[in-house]
Amino acid sequence: MNKDLFLIGVDGGGTGTRIVLADAQGRELAQAASGPSGLGLGVERAWLAIAAGCEQAFANAGVALDWSRCVLGCGLAGVNNRDWLASFLAQAPALAGLAVESDAYTTLLGAHGGAHGVIVALGTGSIAAAADHEGGECRIVGGYGFPSGDEASGAWLGVRAIVHAQHALDGRGPNDDFAQALLAHVGASDRDALTVWLCEANQTAYASLARVVIAHRTHPFAARLLSAAGVEIGKMIAALDPSASLPIALCGGLGAPLREYVPQAYQPRLREPLADSAHGGLRLAQREAGRLAGEG
């Protein structure tokens, strides 16, 4: 393998991007974070965020960034849209190598160290994946995207939670602490202001409401939402592992907060992720560098 190469793992979602920088032997040099790079928010925006994160990682490592020496392993939300993926690949800088997979795949690689298992990734969006043996084919459920899919995700919770605030404003429901917290979060004190927010809100904006839901988890409305999220997580696991035998890792920013809501039948198989999606991306970059070395 070319010892002059740098390996970069990229985890790109709708809320932010995480970067892991390593040398050609896979020794970690630095980490960094930047803005969203989920492809649903725009391919040009995705590359700007990835570039910003890479620049920061190289700066943190005290090394000059040279794209021609970089092999990127990217796990990105939205790559299941073939048009977005084609555009992303077309706009790539002149890299030494590039491998792009779903963020579900890199999350699976990171969480189980490349071994068999199930992951349910819960962040701005959601997706679940499984491999039933080491190096096995990655099977995916969910991840159809905002607004119709991504069950149990931050955006899914936010779309449903804001209804409580809507009802509070016009007297269809109680104007309680939960409603007030939601309205404060979006900066609205009346119907017109909330309407303006709703007209402008994207997936990331709705997902930001998840923290309000979790902070008010004992409120009956929030509790019902979180229980419903747990049921949806259970459905994903069941679809991927009908044999009920694989270890399960809940990943992403909402993995830990939603753990207690996963149905009891799955609780004994829950495991902490070994590593995150960015480190899964680093594994992907290592594979790509190895493939390139084989071709050379």
Sole residue written with tokens 């997936």: 203
pLDDT tens for residues 9-62? 999 987 799 999 999 999 999 999 999 998 988 999 999 999 999 999 999 999
Q: Which domains does the chain have, with CATH numbers?
A: 6-113+275-295 (3.30.420.40), 154-271 (3.30.420.40)
pLDDT tens for residues 220-271? 999 999 999 999 999 999 999 999 999 999 998 999 999 999 999 999 999 9
**What is the pTM for the complete model shown?**
0.81
The Cα–Cα gap between 69 and 6 comes to 6
For 161-189, give one letter per residue: b (16+ CB within 10 A) or e. Answer: bbebbbebbeeebeeeebbebbbebbebe
CB 93 within 8 A of CB 79: no
